[in-house]
Structure 1
Amino acid sequence: MENERIPESLRLRIEQILKEIDEDEDEESSDCDDQLGSASGQFTYDLSLAASHTYLGEVEETHNSLALLEGGAVLTLPLFYLEGVVLFPEATLPLRALIPNFKAAVERALGQVDAPCTIGVVRVQRDFQNRRLRFATTGTTAEIKQYRQLEDGSVNVVTRGQQRFRLRRRWTDAEGALCGEVQIIQEDSPLRTPWEAVGKLAPLRNLRTGNILHVRPLTGSQSNPNSYEDGNESDAISEGTFERELSSAERRLPQSALCTCYGSDAIDGTTSNDNEKFGPDLECQSGRCWLHNDMKLMHAENSKRNKDAGPRVGKTAFPDVQPCNRVGQEKYPIGHLRNVPRAFWPSWVYRMYDSYSLAQRAADRWKHVVRAPSMDGFVMKPKLLSFHIASKIPVSESTRQELLEIDGISYRLRREIELLESFDQIRCKICQTLLAKRNDMLVMSAEGPLGLYVNSYGFVYEVLTLRKTKGVAISGFPRREFSWFPGYVWQVTQCNTCGNSMGWFFTATKKEMKPFTFWGIMNSQILDDSS
């Protein structure tokens, strides 16, 4: 995509026409600023065209179905190193191999036995001071789904991200293909809020041998799978599926977070009389039981108060208690202690790291910020949701690399929620000029407002599509060939302030096409203000 200069008078005339078109579109849709697509009946473009990368021409299916490799597996893969691009699992990556080492990498991938049709994709940065490329240590395997070799020797492929890996070492083989020894990253399982933190109250009869809290099934509103609001003490885990899906490790909290210092015979599960007392076995051997210590403090405070006003621990009031005759031991009414919370921390603390609760929050926030495509179908698949949002969220490439390197699902979702909440403006990376706002985003592909595209020279770009921009100038004549959006011609653009190359301007070839114009901004040229 070359920068061809056009006469100043012609450029001004084009900008005036575009301004008039923009004003006409504003009149047709008064709420256009709040929509990513367009109002009903205003959008006629087929979003599947850009997502299928038809500009690559006819490609053949490889009919390869590669099973996911086990975490920790070490293998050798041909590598594609891309500047300004971060690939995530489940994301589509088009490639056009023109240079010999990339073509050799594709040929090696198609012929290898241990991981057929698989390449490794890593992001690189140019170190201008040392004149070298800096390779990221975390990348993603990509499976070649479609393939075509052209008459000029170039190769067009469409790949799909599979699994994250750590790059251990790299080298160039005899054919010139860049290869690397990679280790597949073991993905963690989605975290759930433990049962001990779900209910508001927990009877002490649930204590059992081994100092592990026995979980009682939730009923009523506590098992409501849609209860994600902060004010609701229940968690979004259905009673029917929770017990079946939990592993033995997930059923336990760290013992430091639970009151686990009771003996196995501390409390009789059949006790129901409020006047019954604790027996001697309830004595905390370590002296660190928070219930035991709180009861002792409560008794000391109670001796100083009026007998009609019981002392309070949190929100629970207790009547007067009488000490036991035995030295070093005290007896307290058991009935009121049945209402002690199960876990040391409140329920909302655990929900901060509950993958399913975070997935719902992330999907809701995505719907508010980006609107399309909807993420609701991935709420019960937090890992896939975290990858989908990471591959589509309009943030800088360095922030996207940060998301790729986060191992925990809950931590990745929390970071994505933070980014969605803070994202509002799009600025030039060089001069920080305001280019557009969040409401200017436009979905022109089924992949979302941000997608990966390759040009005729083999360069891959992450492109953010916008309905309108500010301070971006058009340069060059309209071109139809190799258009990423069939039915549109394109022109290169640059920042008016600093002259930095920003991306492309697309114009429909038919007047009835909606939207008639839109902008594509390279994500690598957007200021990183997410920190």
Structure 2
Amino acid sequence: MADDIIQLIPRQQQVDDDEEANTTSPMDVSYDISLPAQHTYLGDDMEDLTGRTVFEEDSIHTVPVLTSHDVILVPGQILPLQIFRPLEISMMRRIIEEDRTLGIIADGITARANQNKKPVLGTTAEVRSYKEETDDLSGVSTLVVKAEGRQRFKLLSSRRRTDGILTAEIKILPDDPTPDVGEVARLQSLNRFRKPSKTSVGTLGRYGFAPLTQWPAWVYLQYDAEVLVDRIKSELSEWTENFATLRFPEDPGKFSYWVAGSLLLDDEVRLEMLSYDSPVQRLRCELGILRECVVLTCKECRSKVADRGDVFSMSQQGPQGTYVNPHGYVHEMITVAGRTLTPTATFTR
């Protein structure tokens, strides 16, 4: 997580009044917010792969697994990798030649899950583009990969082959379709008179079936996926001032994954998101976090880093993005427009 890898150290700055006055003038800077999602720092000579591999829900497969990167990957999230280890390079070559799919499990997750008697969860990743480079002086090979999270899975068993590659037997977890609120109680013959939730969520047009059930209309409103998406968008608009520039999926299920990958969440919270089969349950959890989270703090010293309104999205894909440095370490980062360090502030959630 980003709060695990970034250590913020307060630094005293002394400026006189004249210098401070000169530095407060606004300056317009042009920046292409589509660049971060493209990971152009990896090079523009990567070979793109076409096609897509999708496993059937509840099916069982054996896939190679990477566990050396401390990232909780969610479906739809881009994962950049720079691989130096010969064993992992050999594994990735084989993956690219076959179905281009591997499993991603964050390092340390298996031990914590076994300790808490919880299932080990992960996400399949599909290689979208790659390139291999060899240093002329040292002869060391590097494999650069851009992969995309695809489907959630539960780890059934794992073993290390004689060549050192870790393989795992996994079960693909299902993604439940977005439920139609009140489908059981509603008279099918009256469907043509229904109104979309965005036009009148509180009228009898959409929740007219409520008097036929034991629950009032406002209860069904809490579990309407379209309403939850609109409420999350409203909360996100308070998090980042350039919310209008973001691009996110309209499907409630894919949108819930986008939110999980864009928020600065603790590993345990993000794993909990992966455990939900229902997009409505995931959206409700995310909405609760957005409403209760007030400030961002350092995980170690609990000092306040920024208010949630200071978060500034440098990418069309969302306020948080992944980045792999030249040494192969993957970071998740956010940008804030200002910073305030106070030793007594806490993370409110």
Report if the CA contact (8 A) 2:312-2:337 is conserved. Answer: yes
String of CA shifts for 1:143-192, please: whole Å, max 9, x gaps: 11111111021110001111111111122223322221111111101012
Task: Kindly indicate whether the alpha-carbon contact (under 8 Å) linking 2:246 and 2:317 is maintained by their aligned counterparts in 1.
Answer: no
RCO higher in structure (CA 8 A, sep ≥6): 2
Which aligned pairs between 1:490-529 and structure 2 lie closer than 5 A? none
- 1:479-490 alignment, distance < 5 Å: none
Answer yes or no: is 1:98 the counterpart of 2:84. yes
1:178 corresponds in structure 2 to 166
Residue equivalent to 1:387: 257
- C-alpha distance in structure 1 between counterparts of 2:307 and 2:18, whole Å: 20
Q: Residue 61 of structure 1 contacts residue 146 of structure 1 at CA under 8 Å; is this kept in 2? A: yes
Alpha-carbon distance between aligned partners in 1 of 2:337 and 2:195, rounded to the nearest angstrom = 43
Find the counterpart in structure 1 of residue 249 from structure 2.
Answer: 378
Pick from 399, 415, 430: which aligns with 2:269? 399
For the aligned residues, what is the CA RMSD? 3.4
Q: CA deviation at 1:387?
A: 0.7
Structure 1 counterpart of 2:190, one-letter code:
R
* Gap regions ≥5 residues in structure 2: 1-10, 135-139
Larger Rg: 1
In 2: Cα distance, 1:528 partner to 1:71 partner: 37
2:182 — aligned with what?
A: 194
Q: Does 1:70 align with 2:70?
A: no
Residue matched to 1:85: 71
Query: Is structure 2 residue 286 aligned with structure 1 residue 413?
Result: no
Secondary structure of 2:198's counterpart equals: coil
1:125 aligned onto 2:108: yes
1:146 partnered with 2:129: yes
Counterpart amino acid of 2:78? T
Which secondary structure state, in structure 1, belongs to the residue aligned with residue 243 of structure 2? coil
Distance in 1 of aligned mates of 2:19 and 2:172: 50
Q: Does the 8 Å contact 2:182/2:207 carry over to 1?
A: no
SS at match of 2:35: helix
C-alpha separation in 2, matches of 1:143 and 1:51: 16
- Extract unaligned runs of 5+ from structure 1: 1-10, 29-40, 199-212, 238-257, 259-339, 472-495, 498-526
CA distance in 2 between partners of 1:165 and 1:60 (Å)? 29
User: 2: distance between equivalents of 1:344 and 1:124?
Assistant: 47
Distance in 2 separating the partners of 1:178 and 1:144: 18
**Secondary structure, aligned partner of 1:154:** strand
CA 1:174–1:449 in 2, change beyond 3 Å: closer, same or farther?
Answer: same
Asked if the contact 2:197–2:227 (Cα under 8 Å) also holds between the matched residues in 1, the reply is no
* Shift of residue 106, structure 1, vs aligned partner: 1.0
Of residues 46, 49, 53, the one that matches 2:35 is 49
The DSSP-based 3-state class of the residue aligned with 1:192 is: coil
Structure 2 counterpart SS, 1:414: helix
SS at match of 2:289: helix
Shift of 1:48: 1.9
Q: Using a 3 Å threshold, how does the CA distance of structure 1 residues 365 and 25 change in structure 2: closer, same or farther?
A: farther
How many aligned residue pairs are there? 327
Give me the identity figure in percent.
Answer: 26
Alignment partner, residue 235 of structure 1: 206
**What one-letter code is carried by the residue in structure 2 that aligns with 1:96?**
Q
Q: Confirm or deny: 8 A CA contact 2:200 2:206 kept in the other structure.
A: yes
Classify 1:179/1:126 alpha carbon distance in 2 versus 1 (closer, same or farther; 3 Å).
closer
- C-alpha separation in 1, matches of 2:108 and 2:332: 15
Q: CA deviation at 1:225?
A: 4.3
1:442 to 303, 307, 312: 312
Equivalent of 1:155 in 127, 131, 143: 143
Structure 2: how far apart are the matches of 1:356 and 1:428?
34
Q: C-alpha offsets along residues 105-124 of structure 1, whole Å, 9 cap, x if unaligned?
A: 31231133xxx111111122
CA distance in structure 1 between the aligned counterparts of 2:59 and 2:23, rounded to whole angstroms: 54
Q: CA deviation at 1:369?
A: 2.5
Match of 1:455 in 2: 325
Residue 336 of structure 2 aligns with an amino acid whose one-letter code is L
Name the amino acid aligned to 1:405: S
Of the structure 1 ranges 165-174 and 97-106, higher mean CA displacement relative to structure 2 is found in: 97-106
Q: Is the Cα contact below 8 Å between 1:196 and 1:215 reproduced in 2?
A: no
